[in-house]
Structure 1
């Protein structure tokens, strides 16, 4: 069975803990296996947390494509909003996406259609921002749930908005303008699944193909490190 056949009928979600700060030699080894443009983009970040999220996220994408597709020399670039995508590729019909927040980095891959993912860390939020971030239906749901669960529901709804937006299916909209209730009720070709990486980090995956299952894999840094420093795409 080929690598690509393992996910051809579903969406595969990969979860990677951010973990403690990389040692200098670990960062250098990972950077050594990345194209120059990715190294430059990563090193622009001044704070080690931001730099580590960018580095591990880039490495995760390349590992995922190498391990779960038949593409061995993928050209990856980013659009104006930073979304990574493949260029100069005419034979692979799949899609992938990346997100990170708090203690986790997540990535999704599908061999059919479009896919988006978003992870957020549940934290306190100012309810005054809700009219600028959510639809009226979203706000109604939050206002009618218990006060202790409002932050949880807010971030669940926000991950859904971001995941839908990041599929690229609604390129003329922004996450704040997407009415998730209307979309889920009226768009028969939009599917979402809410998951939790842990109690503080909700993840929503969105895709546009019926009967696809979300398969989950939790990675550790050593797995990614060992595979990446041996292979390069």
Structure 2
């Protein structure tokens, strides 16, 4: 079973809750959070790790604060105690997301939707994707751009190679059934959906295990109940 959990970042976190969150995450994360100029950036960073710890604690039976993470050469995290338990974390704008479960690589990506120069697609997308994007009605191009971008990011995060794998070396295409697929990665399946009007979510997982059709929305109150 694969789970995708998302949490909307509140504008303000009560001091008691914030200090509990900081106490749960790694010392490296606390130091990172203290260096952010904007509190929202600190919230995203700390809540991303907290949601991962709480979620993985349920999978492993370990206390969330006892979990220790390591990263591969390309930055993909894993658990020292359960290296074969797949998971992935992403955060952007108002949301954090965690995907976990099963026994095969997983990737997730969240992006805040902002106006962009569409010529950027020619630099990062495959020729097939660029042509498909250009053929979209003008009012749909921004959404489609972020669908493609998050799908590609979730895939390279799943395979654990990060941006060392050129984004234009593979294509994300939408089939007649409306589902997304990658011709270069036939053993993977993909999910793409807006979280709200300003954010896009994508996930990648093995075709052997079905991805959920909707993420579970977790509130800060629910998250806090596991750590206070």
TM-score category, normalised to shorter length = 0.7 to 0.9
* Equivalent residue in structure 2 for 1:194, among 184, 192, 195: 192
* Separation of aligned partners in 1, 2:163 and 2:150: 19
Contact 1:191 1:208 in 2 (8 A): yes
1:86-115 Cα shifts (integer Å, max 9, x gaps): 12436xx32101111121111100221100
1:161-207 Cα shifts (integer Å, max 9, x gaps): 10000012556843523422487124321111112222332211101
CA shift at 1:34, angstroms?
Answer: 2.6
CA shift at 1:81, angstroms?
Answer: 5.1
Residue number in structure 2 paired with 1:74: 67
Q: Alignment partner of 1:206: what SS?
A: strand
Between 52-61 and 188-197, the greater mean CA deviation after superposition: 188-197
**RMSD of Structure 2 on Structure 1 (CA):** 2.2
Between 183-192 and 57-66, the greater mean CA deviation after superposition: 183-192
How do residues 164-175 of structure 1 correspond to structure 2 at under 5 angstroms? 164-168=155-159, 170=161, 173-174=164-165
Task: Extract unaligned runs of 5+ from structure 1.
Answer: 1-9
Residue number in structure 2 paired with 1:227: 226
* Separation of aligned partners in 1, 2:11 and 2:54: 20
Residue number in structure 1 paired with 2:76: 83
CA shift at 1:118, angstroms?
Answer: 0.6
Contact 1:133 1:176 in 2 (8 A): yes
Q: 4+ residue runs of structure 1 moved beyond 6 angstroms? A: none
TM-aligned CA distance change 1:143 to 1:31, over 3 Å: same
* Separation of aligned partners in 1, 2:77 and 2:34: 17
* Separation of aligned partners in 2, 1:178 and 1:203: 21
* Separation of aligned partners in 2, 1:59 and 1:171: 22
* Separation of aligned partners in 1, 2:164 and 2:171: 12
How do residues 168-183 of structure 1 correspond to structure 2 at under 5 angstroms? 168=159, 170=161, 173-174=164-165, 176-181=167-172
TM-aligned CA distance change 1:150 to 1:95, over 3 Å: same
Matched, 1:124 2:115: yes
* Separation of aligned partners in 2, 1:21 and 1:135: 41
Between 36-45 and 129-138, the greater mean CA deviation after superposition: 36-45
Return the TM-score normalized by structure 1: 0.84
Return the TM-score normalized by structure 2: 0.85
TM-aligned CA distance change 1:169 to 1:47, over 3 Å: closer
